[in-house]
Amino acid sequence: PALCAAGFEVQAPLLVRWYNEHPKVTPLGVAHHLDADGDTLALLVGNSRTLWRPFVRWVGERLAEDENYLARHPDALDAYARHAVSTLLRALDGVPGLDAAPSVVFADETLETHGRCVSVATAAHVAGLAFYDASLQRSLHKALGPWIAYRAVIVFSGVTAPRLPRPPEPTNPLSPAEAQRVLAIQQDCFLRWDDSDEQANWGRLRSIVDAFEIGREHRYEHEMMQFHYEPDAHRRLEALRRTALCARGPGDGGAAA
């Protein structure tokens, strides 16, 4: 419930071995594996568009405490995901059966920054949550379509669930026609890529996700799209700041700029 209230309502349980034994993961080094016994229970945590309002409110609270918060924390969404997961883990402290503290691998971790890197899209696929389309390099949910993102994998060290039923492997929810149409738009985007015009590049990237019919009713709202598809960091954070201040309102100790 705590994660859902924070906007991370996309969740799926899995066993560590389902991920580690995937053909694309097994050949990789241990830095790409989940570090636990195979029958250990894990939870993939993600979000849809419902993340936006709780996230914006949280940013507004941080700005009320420190008006320079975004300047010092430009990766605010990653910080929010860590805050939400940490809040959950504190609530689980002392729960019977959880003798060891859960470990967490966040989606933004890389070999360069953390010495490990887990494919959250592969975790979603083996958990039966969403199909990974290799040609589009995108996770596709049967209802949400492409409007889904993953933030972390929580590994419940010491909690084994060998009888957890393995879900059927997800199938591609796209029709052949839709898959071909979106792929053509994606190929055109990359053919026209121009390092001197990031605005045009990111506009075409946005046209790819907007081309999907599946999940269209779950499309990110305007401000959320701006946050995810604005290449200029200053403009992106300034738009987030304005949205967060508006969410607080004049009665909350702040006003929109």
> Which residue reads 């924070």 in tokens?
6
- Decide the pairing of beta strands 103-106 and 10-15: unpaired
Beta bridge partners, 12, equal 44
Burial class (CB in 10 A: 0-12, 13-18, 19+), 144: buried
Q: Per-residue confidence of the chain (257 residues) as pLDDT tens digits?
A: 789 999 999 999 999 999 999 999 999 999 999 999 999 999 999 999 999 999 999 999 999 999 999 999 999 999 999 999 999 999 998 888 887 889 999 999 999 999 999 999 999 999 999 999 999 999 999 999 999 999 999 999 989 999 999 999 999 999 999 999 999 999 999 999 999 999 999 999 999 999 999 999 999 999 999 999 999 999 999 999 999 999 876 555 443 32
pLDDT at 250: 54
State which amino acid sits at residue 82: R
CA neighbor of 85 nearest in space, from 13, 8, 14, 16: 8
C-alpha dihedral sign at 13, 15, 21, 26: positive
What does R_g of the chain's alpha carbons equal in angstroms? 19
pLDDT at 209: 97
State which amino acid sits at residue 132: Y
pLDDT at 252: 53
CA distance 46 to 203: 24
Burial class (CB in 10 A: 0-12, 13-18, 19+), 58: buried
State which amino acid sits at residue 221: E
